[in-house]
Structures are given as structure tokens and as C-alpha cells.
Structure 1
């Protein structure tokens, strides 16, 4: 019987397919409705999916998808409200967790310490906190019973190592499937690409400081800006008004677009989950420049957990590049 996955973002889709390709596990992926880029990525992948991998959707709810009855599951965002409900009331059973950006490290840290599941830096309702606590117990028990697998680009992270000590299986994601695939995209070429960040729109970074950073990069030569999928239209309009910044609105994940830009020589990013993926995917001739976030850029909403998580993402990305 195929493992059933609930996919809510393009990155989750990439990592779910990578898992299936790496371990040879038949997987049926349920794609969530209403997620920008997800349908386009699914259509691009469809002709090249590994044997045993199928997709369906779009599904508006995990509770109305094949996930509900599945005993073998795959998820990316355990903090999703729908998945908290499923995990709380139906158990973790046989569960695989794939990376959903930096949220994976936050999840691992909370499970390892026995803390409730919660989105870092976010105020949650009482119901979400109750579900987060219950789902955390279910998943930690699954780890202790050997029923939890973490498929990640951050296998060396301390929190992930702590989960391994609990009994979870940890499998490294080296993006072999994506690196071996030659997807044809309509991405225009670029020499210097800046990977956009949602930290401004999430309320963690000062917009003026971010704009000044972009302007400084543009003064060194024109840059192509590939937005994060959560960046708002108003923010992108502001960045596009900066001299030398060419904002493009991609319909595919950044990792796939960069693979289709053979002229790229430099990629600049703030601390982000793309540090680990791009460290693996980019050609050795491409310089990956990770900009440290100065203290004065942070807003009051960026608490200690947010700042530590950003630093952890960068450190683990560098470890992945050195591995």
C-alpha cells in the first residue's frame, strides 16, 4: 500500500518526491488547493515522477483527502492546523516528515524537548495550542516507537540528532533526483540572483533596512530578484522601484528556476532554508553569498527563537555544503 502524503508548498512537493526516489517507497501525494506555484510544479514534475509516485488534487482539506484513512503518511508541515487535527485524533502511526524550510528544525527542537507544536514567533489560538500539545505527544511517541522518519537536508542539526536518539530514523536528503533531472523552464537567464525573503512581510525585519540592502547589491551591478512565495504585492512593487533590481514573479520553486539559468554566477540570500538546498544543487562555479542579518534590522517581533532559528539554518546549510 502506498504511503499517502499531504503537500502544501512547492518545497514540500520537491522533498516528498526526493524521499520516494531515495528510498523507493511508493507514495501518493495529495496537493493542497489554493497554493501559488504548487499546481505548476506538480504539472512540471508529472511526466518525470519516479516509479511508484502518483499525485491527486487539488484538495481543499486534508481531512477530506486520502490522508484521513491512510496508515502510512508523509507530511511537510506538522504545524498545519489540519495536520494537527489528523495527528491528534488518528495518531502518527507510520510517519515520514520531509523538510518544509526552516520549520523542520523548529519541529525537531520541540519534539526533542517534549514541547507543544507551534509556529515560531506566532500568536496562536487556545485551540491550536491544545492541538499542538496533543500532536506533539503523538509524534514523540512515534519517534520512541521507531515509527517516525525525518527526511532532511539538516541531518547534522543538534535537534535532529536528538530525535535520532529518541528512536526516530533520520535520512539525509541530497537532492539526487532533482540534480539528475533536466527540467525545461522559461526562466530568463541572469548573472546575479537575489533570493527574496518573507521576513519583512512576516514582520521580523525592517522594510527600510531590507530595501537599503537590495539597493546596495544593485549598485554593484544589476540583480535579478526572485521573490519568496509569501512576499506581498506591495513589497515587490517597492523592491522593483529600486534602480538595478529586476523583480520576476516565478511560477516554479527557486531551486528549479536556478537550475535552468546556466549563466548564473552569484546567488545572494538572507538566512533561509534555501541555503541548504542551494548548497547542494548549485554548480561549484556559482558563488552562494549568505548575508548575515545585523541586529538593527530586526523588529521587536523577532524574538530570540526566530533569531536562533535563522542562525541555525545558515550553520546547517554550510555543514551540508561541506559534507
Structure 2
């Protein structure tokens, strides 16, 4: 579908690598450029669940009048060069760039090519909080769960690219930088404009949902990222489900099949693999009257998406004893901060550790 006519200012080119990033591009377009189409480039990952959600989100984007370009950006060793080569002309013509993951090496490389004078970072969840803080403190861009470790050979090789991208993400001269986010920001870098993502597109497009009497539990990939011990996580899920009467477990797209199978067998929870980001699933319904979560993006976004309903979002703290020996020294403080700043979520104490 061709973009709808409208006044969006400079031509806008968006790069996304996850369903949530694509959702937040749609939220930005709804808030900033209603009626105007943009060009949305999907740098497709290899994970099947993520790809499926991205395909479904791409359909919604086309329905909204945006042009979607699907790139098999990781399909073999030559894919990155082919992808970047095919995007160079678009990059150099774009007056505005939207991106969802400033930590992505792919996105950092693309940023070194663009001449765009407007750069917008849309939410990629809790990572956005870390990005803004690192930019404000003048630190190198490192994902929070990796911070504290030594840079590997790949990090050192790509350090010049990361440094160049960081300069592109810093306002200066005629270049403006905006962060479009639903997350709380403690430190705002000088010159960066922060605008609120209130999930107005999601509420206008879906719902209100039918609310059931039970509770639903939201999964997390903290085990997969090496932060939380798998046995401790399973026991925490079992305890929460028992205490609050949860019957469904909405899996994070990065959770392993093996872990989810074990959860189903040992807790009796119905495992649901959502076809869309949870904000849209919850808004469409049916959804439990209580949504239980560990510290994650959804404790900030679900209250916004479900504004005007009677659904309660509750967040369970991560007990320090659940952390693995490989977890970043910053992990506990960062996760506590995610919970502390969740304005509209009810806080639950950590369930007893095993």
C-alpha cells in the first residue's frame, strides 16, 4: 500500500528489529504525523516467534498506510552487506530516521551512513532507560545485562562504528534527537527532546477488552539472558501462580521452548505464545483482572494501554538470590529501578527463594 498523503515534514525512514519497536513506531506516527505514511524497514531476526509477530505487525502498519520493506538482514554471512548496500540510497535521502534499538550493531552501522538531521529513538522497553542514562553520562553504549564484563574481540572491532553512532545520537549543529518513550527518564542528555508515548494508537485501534476474573502471568527472558537462575525462576512462577490463581502464562518471544515446556509441566499453567506485542493482546482481550509480571517493560506500558479499564498490573521483585553468578553487577539495581519507577503498577514482594 502506498503511503497516504499528508504533511510529515522530512521523509521518514524507520528501522525496527522487534515487534515492540514496530508498535512504538506506529504510536509515534499516530502522535506526530497522523495521516502521513512513512517507510518502515524491518531488519528481520532469525527467531521464528519474533518473525511471526513482526509479520503480523507489518500487516497492521500497511493497514495504517505505511510502506513496509522486509529485509532478510541476517540470512547468511553476506546478508548484512547486501542489506546495507540496498538501503544506502534511502538512508541518504531520508530527512528523519526512526530507530528502536540504539545498541544494535546493525542500526549503529546504518547511522554512520545517514545524513538525516532528525533522529528519533522510539521505545525498546527498559533498554531505552539505559540508553538515555548512558548518553547523559557520556558512557559507551552497552546493554545493561552485559555491563561490567570486558569488551570482546567483536566489541573492540566495532568500537569505531559504535562511537560514530553515538555521535549521531547526540544533538549538535543542525541535528536534533528525540526520544519517544513511555519509560521514566532520570537523566536527560542536554539537547535531547523527550516526548511521552501514551499508547493512544493502541487504545484507539483496539478494545476495550473483556476482563475475566482470574489472573494472567507475563513471562520474561531474564533466564535466557543469563541474569536469573532457571530453577529459581520456575519456583517463583509456581508460587505466584498458586498465590494469585493465575491460569495463563504469556511467553516472552525470547523464552526457550525447553523452559516453557518445563513451566507447563511443573506449574500447570497454560502457555500462550502471543502473535502480537502484549500491549495489543491485552487491549484486544480477554485479559485477566490482574496481570502479574516480573520487572520488565510491561509494568510501564500495560497500565497505559489498559487505561480506563479495571485491570490491575502487579510487579514482583527479583530476589537477589535468584541472580546467576554471571549476572552483571548492575542487574539487581537496574531491575529494582524498573520496579521503583512503575507509577501505575502495584508492587509485590519477592516470593520466597528456594
User: Is the partner of 2:144 in helix, strand or coil?
Assistant: coil
Aligned to 1:39: 55
Assess if the C-alpha contact under 8 Å between 1:145 and 1:167 holds in 2. Answer: no
Residue 195 of structure 2 aligns to a residue whose secondary structure is strand
C-alpha separation in 1, matches of 2:193 and 2:242: 47
Structure 2 residue aligned with 1:212: 235
Contact (CA 8 Å) 2:96, 2:118: kept in 1 or not?
yes
Alignment pair present for 1:20 and 2:29: yes
Matches within 5 A, 1:1-323: 1-24=10-33, 26=36, 27-34=38-45, 35-36=50-51, 37-47=53-63, 49=64, 53-60=66-73, 63=84, 64-65=86-87, 67-69=90-92, 70-90=94-114, 93-122=117-146, 124=152, 125=154, 126-140=156-170, 142=171, 147-154=176-183, 156-159=184-187, 162-163=188-189, 166-182=190-206, 191-220=214-243, 221-282=245-306, 283-318=308-343
Distance 1:174 1:222, change over 3 A: closer
Check 1:94–1:263 CA distance in 2 against 1; reply closer, same or farther (3 A cut).
Answer: closer
Aligned equivalents of 1:8, 1:272: Cα separation in 2: 18
Structure with higher Rg: it is 2
When residues 263 and 277 of structure 1 are mapped into structure 2, their CA distance, relative to the original with a 3 A threshold, is closer
Q: CA deviation at 1:212?
A: 0.5
Q: How far did 1:190 drift?
A: 8.0
Distance 2:214 2:40 in 1: 35
Q: 1:120 to 1:129 in 2, by over 3 A?
A: farther
Q: Normalised by the size of structure 2, how large is the TM-score? A: 0.80
TM-score, normalised by the number of residues in structure 1: 0.87
Q: How far 1:136 moved relative to its partner?
A: 1.5
Distance 1:184 1:30, change over 3 A: farther
* Cα deviation, residue 104, structure 1: 0.6
More helix by share: 1
**Which segments of 5 or more consecutive residues in structure 2 lack a partner in the other structure?**
1-9, 74-79, 347-354
Unaligned runs of 5+ in 1: none
Deviation at 1:318, TM superposition (A): 1.6
